């Protein structure tokens, strides 16, 4: 498993580089083919490579991604190494070790019937090209297991906040800042009013966090700004909170006479609510106890994953089944190597448990999906 992880880590795969993602897909395909005996479908969408293995009829969906946030060349400053039981390297924790565990788990099973594996190449970008594939597989699956990295201490992720991005654009009227500023409508001043109104929608940490982020105004230092804008990052724990934030932003109105305000929605992930994972987490605890893997813990987290999308479609979903470690997206990112076999065994046990009671999980997924808008 360590050697397989090294192979994946040393094939750098930043989301921004299509050639790097394509090369990484070849390496992941080779790993999966070796451990399952089957070649994947290569699904290239807008030049970006995703991989899918389908074994028999629909049933259990296993999800992962092979793109990372680390640019090509990161291995120079953050080389692959194993020190004191920890493996280091760009993307090892998020989430190349999860892919290694996934395929080694499949190698433990007597049969792969009823399993689908989808490994995407744009998760770190918010799934712009893989989203239709995720919806397609969610509609077929009775349960989904996401091999994203665990939360602190190996905790499984039983809920994730949804993510919604917006851009608030302000139009004023430009004027010379020295000769006749009073003839202008200052878009920067209007934006300041709007930023305060946006911040007032925040209910964090228990509710939605609504954060104004990247802001810009004006063209030159001696001109009354005629335009301005601010990006907004919203993290929502429930569908109700998502609607509240949507409604609040839609209600923004200009304060200065002559100014205009426009709200442009951007990409979003639905919230992954605890109800989507409750039954699968209980099953995981039972499997872990039977296998002697110790008591499991769970966590609700703010970051989104592909799990949000499939859970949002009504598929029972459990996330955070990947590596135990820390430091995602940061120097010092690492994986606890001794935990990798146990996590693979837990995944194999979960897949078998769902397949042993396939009709119950199929019915549960159908009910959950029927309740979605």
Residues of the chain within CATH 3.30.70.360 domain(s) are: 162-269
Locus of tokens 């590596």: 323
Structure tokens at 237: 């724990």
Residues of the chain within CATH 3.40.630.10 domain(s) are: 2-160+272-370
d(CA 346, CA 360): 20
Exposed/middle/buried for 325, CB within 10 Å: 0-12, 13-18, 19+?
Answer: buried
Q: Rounded to whole angstroms, what are the CA distances from 126 to 15, 175, 244?
A: 10, 39, 22
d(CA 156, CA 281): 8
Q: Cα 166 vs. chain centroid, distance in angstroms?
A: 18
Locus of tokens 């760009």: 90
| Total residue length of the chain | 373
Question: Residue 119's beta-bridge partner residues?
Answer: 51, 64
- Could you tell me if 147 and 62 are in contact, meaning their C-beta atoms sit under 8 angstroms apart? yes
Structure tokens at 363: 């019915």
Structure tokens at 364: 């549960």
Nearest 10 degrees: CA dihedral of 308, 310, 312, 318?
-60
d(CA 242, CA 232): 13
Q: Could you tell me the CATH superfamily of domain 2-160+272-370?
A: Zn peptidases (3.40.630.10)
* Residue 246 backbone zone (phi > 0: left; psi -120 to 50: alpha; other: beta): alpha
d(CA 83, CA 79): 12
Q: Rounded to whole angstroms, what are the CA distances from 132 to 50, 205, 218?
A: 12, 31, 38
Q: Which CATH number fits domain 162-269: 3.60.20.10, 3.30.470.20, 3.40.50.720, 3.30.70.360?
A: 3.30.70.360
Q: Just list the catalytic residues.
A: 67, 123
Can you give the pLDDT of all 373 residues of the chain as single tens digits?
Answer: 999 999 999 999 999 999 999 999 999 999 999 999 999 999 999 999 999 999 999 999 999 999 999 999 999 999 999 999 999 999 999 999 999 999 999 999 999 999 999 999 999 999 999 999 999 999 999 999 999 999 999 999 999 999 999 999 999 999 999 999 999 999 999 999 999 999 999 998 889 999 999 999 999 999 999 999 999 999 999 999 999 999 999 999 999 999 999 999 998 999 999 999 999 999 999 999 999 998 999 999 988 999 999 999 999 999 999 999 999 999 999 999 999 999 999 999 999 999 988 888 888 888 888 777 6
H/E element holding 89? Answer: none
pTM above 0.95, yes or no: no
């Amino acid at each position: 498993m360590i050697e397989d992880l090294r192979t994946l880590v040393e094939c750098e795969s930043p989301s921004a580089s299509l050639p790097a993602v394509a090369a990484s897909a070849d390496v992941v395909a080779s790993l999966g083919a070796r451990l399952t005996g089957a070649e994947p479908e290569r699904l290239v969408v807008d030049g970006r490579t995703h991989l899918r293995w389908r074994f028999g009829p629909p049933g259990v969906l296993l999800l992962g991604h092979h793109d990372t946030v680390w640019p090509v060349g990161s291995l120079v400053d953050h080389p692959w190494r194993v020190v004191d039981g920890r493996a280091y390297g760009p993307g090892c924790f998020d989430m190349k070790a999860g892919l290694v565990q996934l395929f080694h788990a499949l190698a433990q099973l007597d049969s792969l019937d009823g399993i689908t594996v989808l490994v995407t190449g744009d998760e770190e970008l918010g799934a712009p090209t893989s989203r239709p594939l995720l919806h397609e597989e969610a509609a077929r699956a009775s349960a989904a297991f996401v091999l994203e990295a665990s939360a602190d201490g190996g905790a499984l992720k039983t809920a994730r906040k949804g993510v919604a991005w917006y851009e608030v654009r302000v139009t004023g009227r430009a004027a010379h800042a020295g000769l006749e500023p009073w003839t202008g409508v200052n878009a920067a001043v209007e934006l300041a009013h709007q930023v305060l109104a946006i911040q007032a929608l925040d209910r964090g940490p228990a509710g939605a966090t609504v954060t104004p982020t990247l802001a810009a105004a004006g063209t030159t230092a001696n001109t009354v700004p005629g335009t301005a804008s601010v990006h907004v990052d919203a993290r929502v724990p429930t569908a109700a909170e998502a609607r509240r934030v949507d409604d609040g932003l839609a209600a923004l109105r200009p304060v200065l006479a002559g100014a205009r305000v426009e709200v442009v929605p951007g990409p979003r992930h639905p919230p992954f609510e605890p109800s989507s994972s409750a039954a699968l987490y209980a099953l995981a605890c039972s499997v872990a106890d039977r296998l002697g893997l110790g008591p499991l813990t769970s966590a609700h987290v703010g970051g989104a994953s592909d799990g949000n999308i499939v859970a949002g479609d009504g598929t029972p979903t459990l996330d955070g089944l990947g590596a135990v470690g820390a430091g995602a997206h940061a120097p010092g990112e690492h994986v606890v190597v001794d935990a990798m076999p146990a996590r693979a065994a837990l995944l194999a046990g979960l897949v078998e448990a769902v397949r042993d009671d396939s009709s119950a999980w199929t019915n549960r997924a159908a009910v959950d999906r029927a309740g979605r808008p």
